[in-house]
Chains A and B, each alone.
Chain A
Amino acid sequence: NAGVTQTPKFQVLKTGQSMTLQCAQDMNHEYMSWYRQDPGMGLRLIHYSVGAGITDQGEVPNGYNVSRSTTEDFPLRLLSAAPSQTSVYFCASSVTGGFRGGYTFGSGTRLTVV
């Protein structure tokens, strides 16, 4: 049981490049979310999903796309990277969406946009 797996762990992009951050969970959790963490600002919700085929925007969705074709995977796409997207990105999953159990987080992807 690997929990929540994020790849890559580190990435450097040039401004304007696109890429996909991968997230997979093996706990059969319905709820999955993407957060970004910036110094002094806690974690901010980018996009989330309450099940396969269902996604919705969080607090800071601009510049990011998501899709949820399977229960296990929830990739995050950066369409055209900007320096403001330099951050640490966390994927999380939950069986109940935070009620009765909370979210399990991956170990993060550290992204630098130059």
Chain B
Amino acid sequence: GQQLNQSPQSMFIQEGEDVSMNCTSSSIFNTWLWYKQDPGEGPVLLIALYKAGELTSNGRLTAQFGITRKDSFLNISASIPSDVGIYFCAGQAGGTSYGKLTFGQGTILTVHP
């Protein structure tokens, strides 16, 4: 099946620093999604990307859909303590995979005040 490799697995940063994480796939996706999960909760959608090369922002978050359609990047600028959590990328291929999301392993973000 499709595999998503997400890196880094964890990050420990100081408040105010910028953060970058990425996902790469062995196959092409039509949609890339970025989610954040707080402890004890379900993932919450941060940003959705729908076409190759697309760059989308949501406040301090910026994500890009790679031009090869096999990767995506998420950047968080000027991190704050409430950014702590697990960040997941998810991809959706077309055709018979429509409606099925494949998730990366997650990036655990810790922000030190």
- Interface residues, chain A, with chain B CB atoms under 8 Å away: 4, 31, 33, 35, 40-45, 48, 50, 58-59, 90, 92, 94, 97-108
Contact = CB atoms under 8 A, between A and B. Distances in A.
Contacts of B1: 59
Interface in B1-38: 1, 4, 6, 9, 30-31, 33, 35
B45 A98 contact: no
Interface stretch (B60-68, B73-81, B100-108): B100-108
Contacts of B104: 42
Given A31-B99, A97-B99, A98-B92, A107 B106 contact: no
A47 to B, nearest CB: 10
A94 B9 CA distance: 28
Could you say which of A31, A50, A102, A105 has the most chain B C-beta atoms within 10 Å of its C-beta? A102
Interface string B42-66: 1111001010000000000000000
Given A45-B102, A50-B98, A98-B100, 19 more contacts: A4-B42, A33-B100, A33-B101, A40-B9, A41-B105, A42-B104, A45-B101, A48-B99, A50-B99, A58-B100, A90-B42, A97-B98, A98-B90, A100-B50, A102-B33, A103-B101, A106-B42, A107-B41, A107-B42
A59 B97 CA distance: 11
Size category of the binding interface on chain B = 20 to 34
A103 B41 contact: no
A108 B101 contact: no
A45 B101 CA distance: 7
B21 to A, nearest CB: 13
Nearest to A42: B103
